[in-house]
A = this chain, B = another copy of it.
Amino acid sequence: MIRFFEKDPYAPIQYTYEVSKILYHKRSEFQDIMVFENPHFGKILVLDGVVQITEKDELFYHEMLTHVVMCSHPEPKKVVVIGGGDGGTVREVLKHKSVEKVYFIEIDEDVIKVSQKYFPRVACGITDKRVQIKCMDGAEFVKRRSADIDLVIVDSTDIIGFAKSLFTKKFFHSVKNCLTRDGMYVSLSESLHFHKDIVIGVQETLRSVFPIVDLYTAPIATYAGNWWTFSIGSKQLDPREIRTKHKIRCRYYSDEIHSNAFLPRSMYQRLMTRKLDW
């Protein structure tokens, strides 16, 4: 049996997957890209040795990254997706009828091409006429943008690695400047089990820029530590409140999941004052 040993130096448990068949394996200008087939998860996309999505469970990550801010915004029209070359986040954004324009900013064109070939049900939204693809650095895109964006969604690789420029105070300032009055930002922020200090770090940096900052989680078995966090920076809207007028069709996300996903206020308080003793 061929096995794939995930190469995540920051995870205290190493995850290993059975490989039925390697479908693609090449280095792009930016990273090592691999696609393989697994008996349980179906096709799996790996970047620089770390699992990004699997056919079976990508829905949990994509729905939870996207719909919490999308549904707490009353009417998102212009949305920026940074990263997420597989297209899963774009697919979810397009479920919202209010959306008129999606700026899809992925630095690595090869990831988009590979996903369109091997993950058609994930990449399906990329060719939608509301989507404008730009293969460039997301930090550069937001820096030059005027304040007309409703939501910025960062769907990057792990924070430790070449995505780290997307988690600086400077970047968060650029994001804030390109947002409308009701604007919000969301990104992954690693595992509460394995990377508590990183979670706190992202939250602290966001709090130095945005007046409202919050944290929610989702269970994702294929990301190390699994108790995956998402960090929100908001200019004035409380992201715990649902404001959308449109019904969207999801496989995991719902109004109740939205509310339950946020950290209880007391636990959030203990996290940020470093009083959680685990």
Seen from chain A, the residues whose Cβ lies within 8 Å of a Cβ on chain B are: 3, 5, 12-18, 38-41, 56-57, 59-60, 191-194, 217, 219, 221-222, 225-227, 251-252, 254, 256-257, 259-260, 264-267, 276-278
Contacts and interface: CB of A to CB of B under 8 A. Distances in A.
Given A221-B225, A221-B226, A226-B227, 8 more contacts: A14-B15, A57-B278, A60-B278, A217-B219, A219-B219, A251-B276, A259-B260, A260-B264
Contacts of A57: 193, 278
A266 B254 contact: yes
- How many identical chains are in the complex? 2
Contact of A16 (B14, B41, B56, B259): B14
Given A56-B278, A254-B264, A38 B15 contact: no
A251 B264 CA distance: 13
A221 B219 CA distance: 10
Contacts of A265: 256
A260 to B, nearest CB: 4
A221 B277 CA distance: 16
A218 to B, nearest CB: 9
